[in-house]
Structure 1
Amino acid sequence: MDEKDFALLHMLKECGNITHAADRLYLTQSALSKRIKAIERELGCEIIIRTRKGVRFTPEGELVLGRTAQVRHELDLLRRELGATQGEVCGTLRAGFSTNYAFVHLADVIAEYHERYPLVHLDISIGKSSDLHGRLQSGALDLAVLRGELPWDGMQYLLAQERLCAVCTHELEQLPLSELTYINHTTDLAQTALMTRWLHENNLANDANRINVTDLMTCQELVKRGIGWALLPEIVLDGFDGCIRPCTFANGEPFIRRMYIDCQKESERLPQVQALIDIIKAQYAHTENA
């Protein structure tokens, strides 16, 4: 077996289907099937079972997947560490960014990084913080910019503390929030609990007068159009021309949401990773001071 076989098996696991895996690998189904048979002959065991719904890995196949994932990771780390000794920042960098951070800041960060370090191969993922956190824990990412309190035992840097604000248009600001439609956006469970707490403390937990949307930017756009009001973090309020009221809990504690850079311990010493961390910190500090 070689690295191509490792990639083949993991693609097959991801797709769960010979046809789809062959398409993704730019192989014919016949060629893929022959290669699987060759691997099974080499290992002396059956690693997949074909079913009507696709393919399933045998217990032996699952063991092979686990071991080859470890080998791929170690080989990747070896190549990147060797690249770091050559005097130039190069190698591969796998980074994840929460959707809201990416919408506001990512283009500037990547443009500056690529200009400074053109030899680095960037593998960028954008998504929910909870999903990226899972990928970080599995070792699929070197670092991630995440929003909210997610457990992490690697390296962690506090990037920002944002106030949560009650926002609406100027045309609506003289009306009590209780008379306006509340526009709610989907977020993680911890943040949802804090939002619910604030709403209850302010007697605003009225489900009858509410619109639910799945993302922050749609929520903001509805507010801009005068549909109602929302609880929004400062990260999306730059340039918002409306009424912005920072929120405080009943005990006087400000309602804030923290943003972190979480990094794998073994990845932090790689120059390409540290370079990205430095640019993210500097770029965010510049934005805050602008």
Structure 2
Amino acid sequence: MEYRDWYILQTLYQEQNITKTAESLYLSQPALTKRLRQIEKEFGVQIVQRGSRGVHFTPQGEYLAKCADEMLLRLRNIKEHVLNMGDEVNGTLRLGVSNYFARYKLPMILKKFKEAYPNVEYKVMTGWSKDVYKSVYNQDVHVGFVRGSYNWSDQKHLLFEESVYVVSIEPIHLDDLPSLPRIDYETDPMLRALVDDWWTERFSQPPLIGMEVDKADTCSEMVANGLGYAILPRGVLNGKDDLHMIELTTAEGVPIKRSTWMFYHADSMDLQMVKAFVRFMEQGEIAFID
């Protein structure tokens, strides 16, 4: 089996569709089908069955698809370790980054790190923190930046904490919130749970959702135009100091904080580029980026 064959099996298992797989791999459908038949001939088993809704993997095919993940990870690790056996810091650093961190923090971090280590390249995966967490766990990325309190048993470093605020264009009283229109937005489950817990601890009725938007940035702009109040983390509010802000606290008056962590596996520190990046972050470069 060649490297590309394992990659074909992995991609086909993810897509469950010949056409989509061919497009993803920049192959023609006949070429992809021919390669699958050669793989089946090599192992002497049928790997997939075609159906009206795509392909279905046989038990043997399921097993080979799982082996593909293991083989590709192993081959990637071998390549990375060979490239990092010397003292020079180079290679491709794979990062998993939450959407907020990718927009507001990562560009300047990579700029500063690139100045120190010009031979390092980057592959960045962005998404919700729960997806980043999964990508670090599965070793799809070397380092992950997640927001929220996730259970992580390997190496981690707290980067910073931020408060969460009730934000409005005019001063409001917290007791009036249930009767005021709230602008809601799509966010990760951790922040959603944090806000919901605060709300249920304080109020017996649900919030009055007057508008729903896709992102926190959009939400803050709606608030700035007087369309309602919102509950937002401090980082989204940079440059909007003219808004009225009330910090969320527990019933005992303790400020509610949202943490941002750096997660990674201990064995990934064998790679010079990962070690350099982790040390760079631990030295507090993030503190210079507001």
- The normalised TM-score by structure 2 is 0.90
Aligned to 2:8: 8
Supply the distance in 2 between the matched residues of 1:208 and 1:26 (Cα, whole angstroms).
Answer: 49
Aligned to 2:211: 211
1:274 partner amino acid: K
Aligned to 1:264: 265
SS in 2 for 1:151: coil
Aligned to 1:138: 138
Question: Contact 1:101–1:235 (CA<8 Å) still a contact in 2?
Answer: no
Question: Contact 1:156–1:261 (CA<8 Å) still a contact in 2?
Answer: yes
SS in 1 for 2:162: strand
**Residue 205 of structure 1: how far off its partner (Å):** 4.6
2:285 corresponds to 1:283: yes
1:173 partner amino acid: P
Question: Contact 2:91–2:121 (CA<8 Å) still a contact in 1?
Answer: yes
Supply the distance in 2 between the matched residues of 1:188 and 1:53 (Cα, whole angstroms).
Answer: 31
Question: Contact 2:146–2:260 (CA<8 Å) still a contact in 1?
Answer: yes
Per-residue Cα deviation, 1:153-206 (whole angstroms, up to 9, x for no partner)? 22111111111112122xx11566535322223334443233123224444854
SS in 1 for 2:125: strand
Supply the distance in 2 between the matched residues of 1:174 and 1:190 (Cα, whole angstroms).
Answer: 26
Aligned-pair identity in percent equals 30
SS in 1 for 2:145: strand
Runs of 4 or more, structure 1, over 4 Å off, are 174-177
**Residue 249 of structure 1: how far off its partner (Å):** 1.2
Counterparts of residues 154-173 of structure 1 (less than 5 Å) = 154-169=154-169, 172-173=170-171
Counterparts of residues 185-204 of structure 1 (less than 5 Å) = 185-203=185-203
Supply the distance in 1 between the matched residues of 2:15 and 2:203 (Cα, whole angstroms).
Answer: 48
Per-residue Cα deviation, 1:207-256 (whole angstroms, up to 9, x for no partner)? 33543333211211111111121111112122213222222111222111
- The normalised TM-score by structure 1 is 0.90
1:147 partner amino acid: R
Question: Contact 1:79–1:91 (CA<8 Å) still a contact in 2?
Answer: no
Supply the distance in 2 between the matched residues of 1:183 and 1:73 (Cα, whole angstroms).
Answer: 43
Counterparts of residues 1-290 of structure 1 (less than 5 Å) = 1-169=1-169, 172-173=170-171, 177-178=176-177, 180-203=180-203, 205-241=205-241, 242-281=243-282, 282-287=284-289
194-203 or 75-84, larger mean C-alpha shift: 194-203
Question: Contact 2:145–2:260 (CA<8 Å) still a contact in 1?
Answer: yes
Gaps of 5+ in 1: none
Supply the distance in 2 between the matched residues of 1:165 and 1:205 (Cα, whole angstroms).
Answer: 20
Residues 175 and 275 (structure 1 numbering): CA distance in 2 closer, same or farther, change over 3 Å?
Answer: same
